[in-house]
Amino acid sequence: MRVSSLFAVAALGLASTLALAADPDQAIRKALQQMQPGLPIESIAESPMAGLYQVQLKGGRMLYASADGQFVMQGYLYQLKGGKPLNLTEKAESQAVAKTINGIPASEMVIFAPKEPKTHITVFTDTDCGYCQKLHSEVPELNRLGVEVRYVAFPRQGVGSHGYGDLVSVWCAKDRQAAMNKAKAREKVPAATCDNPVARQFELGQMVGVQGTPAVVLANGQMIPGYQPAPQLAKQALAAQATN
């Protein structure tokens, strides 16, 4: 091969390398898909820290990567501003979770609402969960305090479990509120089937990081794992609405 040809081939190779280096989105996606095929990447963008890219996963969780995709990390990124640390990761994740959760159609939830709601919470629930039942007993108090309670399904034992069947029966009942009241009171709910969102909501819960029930998502996307008394929960819900 002539020297000029070799030079041309080398130049093409260098151009390809530079093009790849100049496209962090492509490099990071390729590296992450090799690491975990099917990883649900929502978007890739520069982070507030120079040289670091933030990878937004579907559901809200965040990863960080170098421009070439050779270094990946999971954790919190803080900005030390005015002597007070600001958790940038938590803020970004909450915004993404809020967008996802608040986008669930009302027709796919079981909703207990006051006449004039001041804010809302979305609760991932399982009818077999003792603390879910305790939280449900305080729904009237939450409503009195101006908090709308929106239930989505999260059968802890997975699709096909006894809890999953109960949740399907609740979602397929003619009166979902009455069926939910029965289920949370440990009364038998008449079996029913229909086209329902229970499996999708279970998958969504896993995507946003739900590990147990009840898991409460405030209007601003902040997640509160576990039961909290109605007055305390309402206070946090109203504060979240003010910053949303």
Rounded to two decimals, the pTM is: 0.80
pLDDT at 244: 66
pLDDT at 142 (0 to 100) = 98
Report the catalytic residues: 126, 129, 132, 156
- Residue 224 and residue 239: Cα distance in Å, rounded? 13
- What domains can you pick out in the chain, each with its CATH number? 3-91 (3.10.450.70), 104-243 (3.40.30.10)
Sites in the chain below the pLDDT cut of 70? 1-22, 244
pLDDT of residue 59: 80
> What's the pLDDT score for residue 22?
59
pLDDT, residue 10, reads 34
Picking from 121, 114, 74, 76, the residue whose alpha carbon sits closest to that of residue 98 is: 121
CA-CA distances (angstroms) from residue 188 to 101, 146, 225?
29, 30, 27
The helices-and-strands tally (H runs, E runs) of the chain is 9, 11
- Nearest alpha carbon to residue 192 among 172, 178, 177: 172
Helix (H) or strand (E) holding 20: helix 3-21
> How confident is the model over 101-119, as pLDDT tens digits?
999 999 999 999 999 999 9
Q: Specify the 3-state DSSP secondary structure of 104.
A: coil
Q: What local confidence, expressed as pLDDT, does residue 46 receive?
A: 93
**What type of residue sits at position 15?**
A
Q: How much is the pLDDT for 2?
A: 41
